[in-house]
Structure formats: C-alpha cells, structure tokens
Amino acid sequence: MSVAGLLIGLGLIAIAAIIAIDVSGMRVPPVHAKVGPRFFPLLVSSGLALAGAAVVWQAWRRTFDEDLPPATDWFAVAVIAAGLILHMNLLRPVGFVPAAMVLFMSVTFAFGSRSFLRDGAVALVLALVAYLGFTRLLGLQLPAGLLQGII
Amino acid sequence: MEALGALMDGFATALTPINIMWSMVGVTLGTLIGILPGIGPALTIALLLPVTRTLDPTGAFIMFAGLYYGAMYGSSTTSILLNTPGESGSIVTALEGNQMARRGRGAAALATAAIGSFIAGTIGTLLLTFLAPQFVKLAILFGPAEYFALMVLAFMTVTTLLGASVTRGMTSLMIGLAFGLAGTDILTGQPRLVFGIPSMLRGIDTVVVAVGLFAVGEALYMASRRDLREAVILPIQGSLFMTREEWRRSWKPWLRGTAIGFPFGALPAGGTEIPTFLSYFMEKKLAKNPEEFGKGAIEGVAGPEAANNAAVAGVLVPLLALGLPTSATAAILLAAFEQYNLQPGPQLFSASGTLVWALIASLYIGNVMLLVLNLPLAGVWVRLLAIPQPLLYGGILVFSTLGVYSLSNSTFDLVLLFIVGIIGFLMRRHDFPVAPAIIGLILGPMAEAQFRRALTISQGDATVFFTHPISLALLLIALAVVVVPVILRRVLRRVPV
Amino acid sequence: MLRRTFLAATAVIGLSIGFVTPALAVNDLRIIAPAGPGGGWDQTARALADVMTAGGATGITVENVPGAGGTVGLAQLIDQEKGKPNVMMVNGLVMVGAILTNQSAVNLGMTTPIARLTGEYEVIVVPAASEIKTLADLVAKLKADAGTVAFGGGSAGGTDHILAGLVAKAAGADLTKLNYVPFSGGGEALAAILGGHVVAGISGYSEWAGQIQSGELRALAISAPERQAGIDIPTLKEQGVDVELANWRAIVAPPGLDDAQTKALRDAVDAAVKSDAWKKVLADKKWTDLYLPGDDFAKLLEAENARVTEILKTVGLVQ
C-alpha cells in the first residue's frame, strides 16, 4: 500500500466533497437555461471523486507510485515553502526589494548554495532592477516599504 | 490590387527612421514583458496609453503592434528555456520546448519557434491585408452554440495530452476544471466557491495556475531531488542552430499551425490558447514517431508557436474591420484608437487609410525585426541554462511572484500561487501530467459559459447544438476525432501487415 | 509668491524622497481604481489624479484593485483603509448591482460619499437586418413574450442588465421572464448582436458609437433624460417608456473620517472638477458631466440602491 497515494486519493475526494457542499448551499436564481450555476461544479465534483477513488484503489493495489524518486529532500522543499510564505507576508510591510531578496536567498539555500555573499549580491541587484524597471518604466505600483524615500 | 498599392504607401510611411525607431522600441519592450508572467501586452499598452497621448498616432500604433508581437516571442523564450510560460498562448510550447532545451537543443527550439512565428505572422498579416472582410463575415456566424461545439472538439483533443496513465491524466484535468469553477458566476453574478473571501470573487487567474504548476511546482520538485540538482544541463548539444533534419520536421507544422491559428484569432471568442492545443494535437497525430512527444519533439514547438502568432494576427481582423475587440489586448488597442478619435470599422480604411496601411506594413516590419533580433539571440539566451541552478531558480521565483502580484496588486494571489505550487510539486513528484490541468482551467469556464448562454438564448431548448449547421459540423468532427482512430485500429488489425 | 515657492519646494522634496505631510489631505492621496488598467474606472481615477496634480497636489498615486464589479476594491477600502484621510476610491452604478448579486458583506452605504463625477447613457440596439424597427416594436415583443427577446450585454446585474429590467418593467412585460445574456466583454456581446445570435443589445453609447454611425447597428433608444448633443437617437422617455438611467461614476472615501477630513476631500475634488483641466478631460473623453457633490450624492446612492435592488429582486438575481 502506498501511503502517499492513499493520502492524495483521499485529498481529491475531500476537494470533491467541498465543491459539492459549497455549491449545494448556493442560491440559484431562476434561469432560462434550465441549467444553472450548479450543474458544471457537480459534474466536476463527481469527476474528482471518481479520480480520487481510482487513485485510492491503485494505492491499495500498490500500482500507484511505481517510479517514485529515490530520495526526497523535504528540508529543501520546506525552506522554499518558508521563503514563499515569508515573501507574501513581508511584501507589503517591508517592501518588494527586501521581500524578493528573502525569497531569492531561501531558494539558493534550498538548492544547496552556501555562497551567501554572491547570492545576496545577485538578489539585491535583481530585486532593484526589477523594482526600478517596474515602477519607473511601466508606472506600476510595487510596495516600496523600508526603501520608501530612498529609491 | 488596390490593397497592394495602399500597402506600398503604408511601407513608405512605416519605413521612415522615426517610425522604425518606434517599431524597435515596441519589439524590445514587448520581448521583455513577454518574458514576465502576468505582465502581458494588454497591461503594458494600457499603461503606455497616457504616455503616448501626445505622440503621433502612426508612431504609437507601430509601437503597439511591435509590442504585441514581441510579447509572444519573449514568452516562448522563457517557456522553452525555463519551463515558465510568460503568456497563456505559449503554455503548450513548454511541453516539448523545455524537453528539447534539457537535451541541449534549446537553441534549435528557440529557432524553430522564432522562424515559425515569423512565417505565421507574415502569412497572418498577408491574410489580414487581403481577406479581412471575408473572415469577419465568417467570424460573426459563431454564436454561443457554435463556441460550445468548438470547446467540445478542443476537449476531445486533450486525450493526446493525458499521458500514459488515464487515471492520472483525468485527475489532472479535473483539478484544472475545479480551479476554473471558483469566482463570480458569469451568467448569474452569484459567488461560487468563494468561501467568503472577497478576493476569490475574481476567480483564480490562469496566470496564477500556470506559473504555480510550472514555475513554483518545478522549483520545489528540483529542490527535492538532490540527484537532479547535481546534474548539469548542457546548454548546447550538437550544432548550435537547427539541423537539416530539424528544418525538415519543422516546415509542415509551421504551415499547419498558421492555418489553425489565424481563423481562431479572428473569432470573437477564439483566443490564442485553443489553437495551440489543437496544433499540438494535430502534430502528435501526424507525427511519424509520436512516442517522441513528451521527450522533446520539435514538431510540438513549431506547430503551436506558429498557431500562437497566426492567432495574434487574426485578432486584428475583426478589430480593424469591425471595431470588434476579441482579446484583452485588442480591447486596449480599441481604446487607443478612440484616444486618437479614430473609429475602427469599415470607415477606418477610408477615413484613416494611411494609418491603417502603415500599421499593417509595420506588422511585416516588426516580424522581420523580431526574427533578426531573436535568431542570433537564441545562442545567447540558451546560455541562461548555464547559470548555476540556485541562482536560476531564485530568479525564476522572484519574477514569478512579481508577475503574479502585479496581476491585481494582491497578496492573496500569492497565497493562491503558493497553494497551486504545492499541488504542482505533488503532481510532479507522483507523475501526474500538468498540461491537462491547464487545459481544464482555460477550456472549462469558456465551455460552461457558452453552453449556458446558448441554452439561455434558446430558453432551455438543447437541440440548438444540433440544429445550427456549424455547431453540428463541429460536434461531428469531435465525434470523428474519438471514433475514427478506434475504427482504423480495428480495420488495420484485420488486415495483416 | 513666497507661498507658491514654498509649495513648489515641498512638491520637489515630496517627489524626490516621498515626504509625507499628513496635515494636507490632498497630498499623497491614493486613488483606488477597483478595476484593471484601461477601463472606465481606471481612466476616471487616472484623469482625476492628473487634474489634481496639475492643480498643485503632490504624490498622488492610482492603485488598481480589480475584481468582481469592484467589490474586491470596496472590501479593501472598508476593511483596510478605514479612517485613512488620504485614500479615495472610484465607483459607479455597476458596483451597486455587483454588491447585491455578490452578496457582498460590505456596501457603498458604509463609505464616506464624496461626489458623483461623470457618466454615460446607455443605448438599446438591434442589428441592421432585424425586423424590429422601433422601440415600439421591441416593447410589443416584450409584452407578447419577454422570454423570446434575448438581450445581450455586460455582466449579470450590471448597468446593461438593470436597464433591460427597467425597460421591460416600464413596458409592462413579465419581468420574471426577462431573457438577459451576459457576455464577458463588449466585443463578445457586439459579435453576438451583429451575428444575430441575440435579439437586441444594451451598452454604453460610446462603446458602439462606430457601429451605430456606420449603420451596422440600429439604435432604438438612449437612456438619457433628454436628447444629447451630437447623438441622433431618441430617448426612451419621448417614446413613451418612462425610464432614465445614467451609468454614473463617482468617488468615495473610506469610512471613519471626521467632518474636517471629509470636507478636505470634498473641497479637493470640488476644486479639481471646477478646473479647466477637468473640462478638457470631459471633452476629450466624451464623458457627460454629472457632478453631484456631498449629501446630494449620498441621497442618490440610496435612491439608486433602492431602484436596483427592486429590479434585481424581481428578475431573481437577488433574494
């Protein structure tokens, strides 16, 4: 039995259930089409549930993960995930440039680089160029944060 | 041949040094924004509109045209090299293009994309010049019923993208369809799968899903595989540019892609994505060795890229001939016309002929310029792959999050990107194909809306799909796509080879 | 003169280092456009920002918060910008309908109304080849069986949909059978009308002006109170359908402002709207001046909300 496969299959069934429950509680205005906003979601929900059931079946029969990668570096995955979460929380309060640098450094670290000076320098240049290009050339708004008034 | 003379005059206008400069500015800027996911030509032109108000309209439109085409070139470059599509029209390109790049044929993939785009863009512009009125008449024949039939046909072609395992392919397709359900229901305005979060009313943007599944999912996966991390990708294997064999395999897909792409672009709800799926499907079906698809078949780059650029030219047909915007970019171009007090439509050719023909001439010029710019650069671009992996993926994630954030200045989109990224990682780790999810996301909402629109108009009478001749024909083709291969296989089995 | 120089100096400093002077509400103003770049709300926000900047205000920025008929932007204004005296948001009639259909937890009544700015009237069109020649023909068809008259237009519950409802109601048709088909953009709706896939179409006048002038579309009526200069289309009212509707655009501020802060914003907008630069914007963009400041605008918001709620309830979009 493949535990991962079982979890994925059950996850799919759970999503199918969430869709079905949310849509069932939805208000449906009278429509000429006779096919309302619930029809497609229920179709997709059934499809997902079937797919989930098939995955669970395969996981049970041990035909699911036949060529799973030999080893998974979960630590590296967690570091990038943490970088992404930090980035989305830092973006508004401290600004684009520091947030982007944090993200960049988390990725380089996860990929095994320990040349912090080089990575930091590249991150700074990249973030600054992107920030200036966006705000100056295109006139888009990016949070300045800590650098408000400096750049 | 009245058009020919007018076109020559157009070239005379477009080839002045100042207008050539605007064209250069446009194609360069376009290539840059095409590289960034989330930042597309529509947004850029919208932001440039106030700046160009004081400009001479001819110069401004020549720049916009260059920008529009340039974005498509830039987008395919990142699709091929970094597996990160910059625009939704080049998602399919990533499938084979990135595989080619991994085998050291990145420059060849870029070349076939650039040449294919050039040929498609040129043929498309020619068709635009001489056949625009005819295409417009065809385009407005398509109503909701016809579009739905078209979506059914497109769904049937998805089977080629499902991959080896039917369970995994269908799961991926369903995940994509599920993403497409969320947001405000178009037909009734009611919130659906919004869970009380205001930002969810917008729905989940295609770009968020594409970038999440491709770029973020890929980065997480590569980080999780120590064995792949140390593997060095050779940027160039064999000859730098396309070999004779690669030329031979590319030219037919270029032409077929053009033939599929142009009419789709001209359709009011056609878009650039569906023709790229259809072209991919066709190339895989026609290929002598279909088992190479998924491992870097050049046909899978050449066809969709041509289809994408031909569709871009097609979009200009209803815009110029009817004042009908058929894509976000076209709608912004229409606003630009209005800024200069020009009204697209039949009168445009008579009232502002010089401008229109200069614009059309500049499309030819922009195409040549992009080819000249991109072919030599292909050799430079592929060296991106030589960047150490940590820095490369760091950069990809910084630009991905930047593009997604700027979609609507929303950190919530970054939350969605993260969730989709984790799903993308799991899909990759457990060998689920990613392409069907993208197709579900794009086709699902369109199919649902057109299906319900058709039934609203007919007041619930489902026979509309069979009584409209075009709709019926498309449904029959869709049926044939499924049934004919099965029958052929049976027949062939009976005949001893 | 000295004051002028001082202001200019602060302006330069403000621009170069982003200096914040909280006492002056008109400086460092953020105008939220609750839609993507390029659309009507975005253009209104940017035009107002330009005019205010030309009038001497500094540090004005426009922020796009698109989505769901502007309700995503509205939620931000009410939840996150509460009590901030230097934020305003563009809004319009479309938002009134979107709040109702979205079952939004926030509404325009929670904001601090500043002023209605501009607007545009709606037209009802049929394709040139249609058997419907006049508004009377359309009214007759609606009365006979409203279900057979498929209207094509913009988003469900938006201005176009509301007008379809108002016209059907005034015509004495069965509103519960109103057959309205929402399309995602002006282009798609236009194609459906030109191709004869729907019976009639509704949209803002300027969007289809070209097709009306070239004769591809026949305009049956305009939703203005009286005939508009340069537009040769009879009003609904003069053809016996007692409906007028302007797709207005306005500006509001966040909740929780004191009277002085509200007055500062209202004065700043008042000054901008009365400037020549704003008049030029209106002329260039062909926007109808519908300036209505302060409390009168607040009353209008209430009246429009009541009218839209009634229509959307009858057609079933709102409970």
Partner A contacted by B185 (CB < 8 A):
yes
CA distance A60 to B422: 24
* Chain length of chain C: 319
Higher pLDDT, C95 or C15: C95
User: Mean pLDDT lowest for which of B100-114, B158-172, B365-379?
Assistant: B158-172
Instruction: Tell me which H or E stretch contains B5.
Output: helix B2-14
A23 Cα to chain C: minimum distance (Å) = 15
Question: What's the burial of B137, exposed, middle or buried (CB within 10 Å: 0-12/13-18/19+)?
Answer: exposed
**Within 13 Å of residue C84, how many CA atoms lie on the same side as its CB?**
18
Give the per-residue pLDDT at C213: 83
Contact A149 C19 (CB under 8 A): yes
Chain B nearest-CA residue for C75: B198
**Within 13 Å of residue C26, how many CA atoms lie on the same side as its CB?**
23
pLDDT reading at A13 higher than 90: yes
Partner A contacted by C176 (CB < 8 A):
yes
Contact B44 A138 (CB under 8 A): yes
Supply the DSSP symbol for C106: -
Give the per-residue pLDDT at C10: 42
Question: What's the burial of C229, exposed, middle or buried (CB within 10 Å: 0-12/13-18/19+)?
Answer: exposed
The 10 Å Cβ neighbour count of residue A45 is: 26
Two tokens, residue B360: 């059309």
Higher pLDDT, B295 or A125: A125
CA distance A41 to A48: 10
Give the per-residue pLDDT at B231: 57
Contact A127 B220 (CB under 8 A): no
Give the per-residue pLDDT at A139: 66
In 3D space, the residue among B274, B147, C101, B176 whose CA is nearest the CA of residue A37 turns out to be: C101
CA distance B414 to A126: 19
Instruction: Select the residue from B48, B51, B64, B188 to test the C interface by mutation, using most C Cβ atoms within 10 A.
Output: B188
Two tokens, residue B488: 């052929």
According to DSSP, the residues that pair with B16 across neighbouring strands are none
A81 Cα to chain C: minimum distance (Å) = 26
pLDDT reading at B32 higher than 80: no
Contact A5 B222 (CB under 8 A): no
pLDDT reading at C169 higher than 90: no
Contact A80 B47 (CB under 8 A): no
CA distance C308 to C93: 9
Give the per-residue pLDDT at B163: 66
Contact A88 B39 (CB under 8 A): no
Which alpha helices (H) appear in C21-158, and where do they start and end? 40-54, 71-79, 93-101, 135-144
Residue B352's alpha-carbon distances to B68, B174, B345, C213, in angstroms, are 21, 49, 11, 16
pLDDT reading at A65 higher than 70: no
**Within 13 Å of residue A105, how many CA atoms lie on the same side as its CB?**
18
The 10 Å Cβ neighbour count of residue C9 is: 10
Quick one: average pLDDT of A90-114? 92
User: Mean pLDDT lowest for which of B28-42, B133-147, C267-281?
Assistant: B28-42
Tell me the percentage of chain C whose pLDDT exceeds 90. 6
| Amino acid sitting at position B422 | I
CA distance C266 to C282: 19
Reported as a single tens digit per residue, the pLDDT across B205-218 is: 877 887 888 888 88
Chain C nearest-CA residue for A151: C17
pLDDT reading at C275 higher than 60: yes
According to DSSP, the residues that pair with B468 across neighbouring strands are none
CA distance A99 to A92: 9
pLDDT reading at C202 higher than 50: yes
**Per-chain mean pLDDT for chain B:** 80
Question: What's the burial of B354, exposed, middle or buried (CB within 10 Å: 0-12/13-18/19+)?
Answer: middle
Answer for the pair B224, B231: CB distance below 8 angstroms, yes or no: no
Contact C68 B459 (CB under 8 A): no
Q: Each residue of C125-151: b (16+ CB within 10 Å) or e?
A: bbbeebebeebeebbebbeeebbebbb
Two tokens, residue C259: 């009277």
Choose among B223, B389, B409: nearest Cβ to A141.
Answer: B409
Residue B447's alpha-carbon distances to A15, B170, B180, B450, C290, in angstroms, are 22, 17, 11, 5, 40
User: Mean pLDDT lowest for which of B276-285, B327-336, C115-124?
Assistant: B327-336
Domains in chain C, CATH or no CATH each: 2-118+248-314 (3.40.190.150), 120-245 (3.40.190.10)
| Amino acid sitting at position A2 | S
Contact B410 C63 (CB under 8 A): no
CA distance B373 to B371: 5
Quick one: average pLDDT of A89-117? 91
| Amino acid sitting at position C223 | S
Quick one: average pLDDT of B321-346? 70
Contact B268 C188 (CB under 8 A): yes
B452 Cα to chain A: minimum distance (Å) = 6
Tell me the percentage of chain B whose pLDDT exceeds 70. 85
Q: Each residue of C166-181: b (16+ CB within 10 Å) or e?
A: bbbbbbebebebbbbb
Higher pLDDT, B383 or C119: C119
Supply the DSSP symbol for B238: S
* Chain length of chain B: 497
Partner A contacted by C63 (CB < 8 A):
yes
Contact B189 C198 (CB under 8 A): no
Three-state SS sequence of B467-491 = HCHHHHHHHHHHHHHHHHHHHHHHH
Higher pLDDT, B404 or B48: B404
In 3D space, the residue among B119, B404, B65, B157 whose CA is nearest the CA of residue B262 turns out to be: B119
User: Mean pLDDT lowest for which of A56-60, B320-324, B419-423, C231-235?
Assistant: B320-324
Three-state SS sequence of A108-135 = HHHCCCCCHHHHHHHHHHHHHHHHHHHH
Query: Could you tell me which chains touch chain A, where touching means 3 or more CB pairs under 8 A?
Result: B, C
B342 Cα to chain C: minimum distance (Å) = 9
Residue B37's alpha-carbon distances to B48, B150, B205, B402, in angstroms, are 18, 27, 12, 8
Quick one: average pLDDT of C3-30? 47
Helix (H, G, I), strand (E, B) or coil at C116: strand
Return the ∠ at Cα C293 (arms to C290 and C298), rounded to 5°.
Answer: 100
Q: Which residues of A touch C319 (CB under 8 A)?
A: 27
pLDDT reading at B1 higher than 70: no
Chain C nearest-CA residue for A140: C63
C86 Cα to chain B: minimum distance (Å) = 19
B324 Cα to chain C: minimum distance (Å) = 5
Q: Which residues of C touch A32 (CB under 8 A)?
A: 147, 177, 179
Instruction: Tell me which H or E stretch contains C33.
Output: strand C30-33
Chain A nearest-CA residue for B390: A108
Chain B nearest-CA residue for A110: B223
Quick one: average pLDDT of A89-98? 91
Answer for the pair A146, A94: CB distance below 8 angstroms, yes or no: yes
Mean pLDDT is highest, among B109-113, B230-234, B290-294, C188-192, for: B109-113
Chain A nearest-CA residue for B175: A48
pLDDT band at C15 (very low <50, low <70, confident <90, very high): very low
Chain C nearest-CA residue for A138: C37
